[in-house]
Amino acid sequence: MKLTYYGTGAGEGWPGIFCNCELCKEAKRLKGKNIRSRSQALINDDLLIDLTPDTNMHSLVYGLDLEGVDHLLVTHSHTDHFHPADIELLREPFAHNRNLFHIYGNESVRKRIWTEVPKVEEVVDCFDFHKAEPFQKLSIKDYIVIPLLALHDREEECLIYEIIQGDKAMLYAHDTGAFPSKTMDYLVANKVHLDLVSLDCTTQSEEDGKNHMGLVDAVKQRKLLIDLGLADEKTTWIVNHFSHNGGWLHDRMVEEADKVGFLVSYDGMVIEV
Ligand SMILES: [Zn+2]
Ligand SMILES: [Zn+2]
Ligand SMILES: [Zn+2]
């Protein structure tokens, strides 16, 4: 199973659109892996995670090909993960020869579709919305997808996703703090070996664990997963979703993550398990 990171920044991207802090200035100067657009990832070539406002840029600049993508998992309704205005572009005359587009998400995502997609009544035949219920398996093509509860915005049911294809399993966990006990209980009761775990690292150098994770929180979460027998030294561990307020540009992030055995995502990173 292949995972491509298209957007690895937090809500405002890095550099933040309107930010004049030193770390944003430095990212603009250094460019390369210091430039982080907003959250999006693709499983193999056909299962998209999150519909960021940077989706079009990911197609134009990073080579994201949506031709064969008919399924979208949305983690939660925050603006860096879900940009409903682009859903209008599924219909004629903006798009030709498209299959039905399946969107999986929580109630807040559903509400944003019905209130924010321009002329939504003209787009309804182009997509199907499926409410993603925590711990209810979804069968999507040859994937089994399990929405799990995140610890994030308390006003909505934020989700992280376990994705299984054949004998491979990965866990995509952004935005979240320490996993809620219900999620840990589910993972233990339905034990699979996680081949890849992508953990939140929004606050980088700073500890959080309540809405997001810093590197120390990711290390703690990894230990828990390993102690419970869900993952091991063969698992690929990645940190992703970084904010300029966390303090570490890409090279420093790699240096710190290397000390504790994590890989660091960057826009365009491809990893296969
Ligand atoms: Zn986010
Ligand atoms: Zn900044
Ligand atoms: Zn969020």
Give the pLDDT confidence of 48-90 residue by residue, as tens digits: 999 999 999 999 999 999 999 999 999 999 999 999 999 999 9
Q: Which residue has the tokens 């957007």?
A: 7
Query: Chain-wide mean pLDDT for the chain?
Result: 98
Q: Average pLDDT for residues 214-241, to the nearest whole number? A: 97
Q: How much distance in Å is there from the Cα of 38 to the middle of ligand 1? A: 7
CA distances (Å), origin 133, targets 37, 80, 185, 228:
28, 21, 16, 24
Q: How much distance in Å is there from the Cα of 14 to the middle of ligand 2? A: 7
Q: How much distance in Å is there from the Cα of 242 to the middle of ligand 1? A: 9
Q: How open is the CA angle 198-201-203, to the nearest 5 degrees?
A: 170
Structure tokens at 80: 């860096």
Res 77: pLDDT:
98
Which numbered ligand comes closest to the C-alpha of 21? 2
Kindly indicate the confidence band of residue 210, based on its pLDDT and cuts at 50, 70 and 90: very high
Q: How much distance in Å is there from the Cα of 172 to the middle of ligand 1? A: 13
* pTM of the predicted protein model: 0.98
Q: Average pLDDT for residues 177-199, to the nearest whole number? A: 97
Q: Are 97 and 130 in contact (CB under 8 A)?
A: no
Q: How much distance in Å is there from the Cα of 141 to the middle of ligand 3? A: 27
Q: How much distance in Å is there from the Cα of 40 to the middle of ligand 1? A: 10
Q: Quick check: 25 pLDDT over 90?
A: yes
Surrounding residues of ion ligand 1, Cβ less than 5 A: 80, 175
* Domain spanning 2-272: CATH superfamily: Ribonuclease Z/Hydroxyacylglutathione hydrolase-like (3.60.15.10)
Q: Quick check: 233 pLDDT over 90?
A: no
Tell how far CA 48 is from the center of its chain. 9
Q: Are 36 and 249 in contact (CB under 8 A)?
A: no
Res 54: pLDDT:
98
Query: Which amino acid, residue 154?
Result: R
Q: Quick check: 268 pLDDT over 90?
A: yes
Surrounding residues of ion ligand 2, Cβ less than 5 A: 16, 19, 21, 24, 244
Q: How much distance in Å is there from the Cα of 112 to the middle of ligand 2? A: 28
Which numbered ligand comes closest to the C-alpha of 14? 2
Res 27: pLDDT:
98
Kindly indicate the confidence band of residue 117, based on its pLDDT and cuts at 50, 70 and 90: very high
Which numbered ligand comes closest to the C-alpha of 78? 3
